Amino acid sequence: MIYIYLPYGLAFVALGLVMTMAARAPVPVLPRGSLWLLAAFGFLHGAHEWMEMAVSIQAPVAGQGGTLPLQLVNLLPLSVSFALAGQSGIETLIAVKGWPRWSRGVPALTLALWAILAIAIGQGLAYRPSEDWVSAVDALARYVIGFPGSVVAAFGLVMAGRKHRATGAAKIASYLIASAAAFGGYAIFAGLIVPPADFFPASLINAETFFAAVRIPVQAFRAALALSIGGTLAEACIVEASSMQAELNRLREEFISVVSHDLRTPITTIKLGAGYLKHLPAGGHGTDREGAVVRSIETSAKSLSRMVEDLLDASRIEAKRLTLERERVDLRQLVLEVVDRAAEATKGHQVVVDIPEAMPPVEADPGRVEQILVNLLSNAGKYSYPGTEIRVGAQTRLAEVEVSVTNYGPGIAPEDIPSLFARFYRTEEAERGKAPGLGLGLYIAKGLVEAHGGRMWVESEIGKYATFRFTLPLT
């Protein structure tokens, strides 16, 4: 019986920890002040229960009245924690239902009323406290502060749940209402089933008569309800965080799509204008410098166009809206064509293609496979030692083909590999070398491979090489 206080106190401390984390969330499910008050309630009530355990352990050793000072001190966290629970409910109702601000003083009034009644029971301040008096004052604290405070806290959770439901957050609402039900249960088990006392109803309905009736200590029910309160509120916070993340993702994808769309028109105009100027007849440009400027405009427009396409592809991959036009593809022939078309990206490096002529066809979107290869070849060209070769290979493995692109250069640091395929990630090597790009190439390449049902990974040795591998399904 004594050690039931250990998990009971732990349940409230856990509630305090959960509420602390919830209060620090960017968008809390309840008013932030209410969550901090619930956190304080949990910590303080947990401390009260552990002090109660200490009293029970020390009683046989200390003898009659030996634990009275500790019992007297323990009345403070009990009464204040109940007041904090009520205060949290009032703060929620002020925010959600527009309750008057003067209602914030009600918990303090209940504390004052409890203190007056405690003195009255003791027949004045001169009365010497006894263990029976402590038990009676404990019961009064539960009746006067605990029960109404818990009911108000439960009502606040119900009203907050209704508000969330009205905004379409039905799942959050259901968790808040479940938490309110748990708080309502706690109001009964902690506020009405009290320590035995010489006045009604504590003389009839108390912790001892409850145990005699059900053979389970009331503290076990209180602990279960405390865990339920914390668990349901934690779930509500998780759902709120997930909803917020989903909304942020939606807004980000919408922003990228809109910006990309709006950028396309001026980029197309620049490209067309630069192309027209470039093809003017001999003597159409005033000076060689003007011709160089035209070529620079065209190159920059192409670079911007690639960035826009990368942003759009990243958006489609994130939203799982990427479409593939699959067909039978001669992989060896496609690789040879891509290597030829990507000659500018691999300039200064010999590209060696090592793919068997008898390679079976793959089931893939040739345009997307070309995009994957161009990304990897471009990467290889950027991060190879000058004059070294780039190797492209492929071999069949059961029902798939494994393609590899290897370059010989500084390699990739082991700490960079876990983040290498993340959006907008750029290694320190890329930053130091001022390599152009948004850090989307590998993210897009991996997304395209996975859309085909394949895998992509990297193997590297610092100062020697980096090999990117990916698989595609055979027909």
Give the pLDDT confidence of 224-264 residue by residue, as tens digits. 999 899 899 989 988 888 887 777 777 667 666 666 666 66
Mean pLDDT of 89-118: 94
Q: Final residue of a domain: which of 265, 288, 318?
A: 318
> At which residue do the structure tokens 């089933």 appear?
193
Q: Final residue of a domain: which of 300, 318, 336?
A: 318
CATH number (domain holding residue 422):
3.30.565.10
Q: Are residues 25 and 116 in the same domain?
A: yes
CATH number (domain holding residue 77):
1.20.1070
pTM of the model: 0.61
What order of strands is seen across the sheet that includes strand 456-461?
A: 351-354, 390-397, 400-407, 465-473, 456-461
For residue 393, count other CB atoms closer than 10 A to its CB.
17
Reported as type and span, the H/E element at residue 401 is strand 400-407
Question: What sign does the CA torsion over 93, 98, 102, 103 have?
Answer: negative
Q: Are residues 171 and 25 in the same domain?
A: yes
**Number of domains composing the chain:** 3
Q: Are residues 196 and 282 in the same domain?
A: no
Give the pLDDT confidence of 29-84 residue by residue, as tens digits. 899 999 999 999 999 999 998 998 888 888 777 666 668 889 999 999 999 999 99
CA separation for the pair 215, 397 (Å, rounded): 65
Q: Are residues 387 and 371 in the same domain?
A: yes
Give the pLDDT confidence of 140-165 residue by residue, as tens digits. 999 999 999 999 999 999 999 999 99
**58, 66 in Cβ contact below 8 A?**
yes
Q: Final residue of a domain: which of 318, 338, 359?
A: 318
Please give the residue range of the domain that contains residue 351: 327-473
Q: Are residues 92 and 111 in the same domain?
A: yes
Length of the chain measured in residues: 475
Q: Are residues 8 and 155 in the same domain?
A: yes
Q: Are residues 81 and 204 in the same domain?
A: yes
Q: Are residues 247 and 311 in the same domain?
A: no
| 468: pLDDT strictly greater than 70 | yes
Q: Are residues 245 and 260 in the same domain?
A: no
Q: Are residues 214 and 356 in the same domain?
A: no
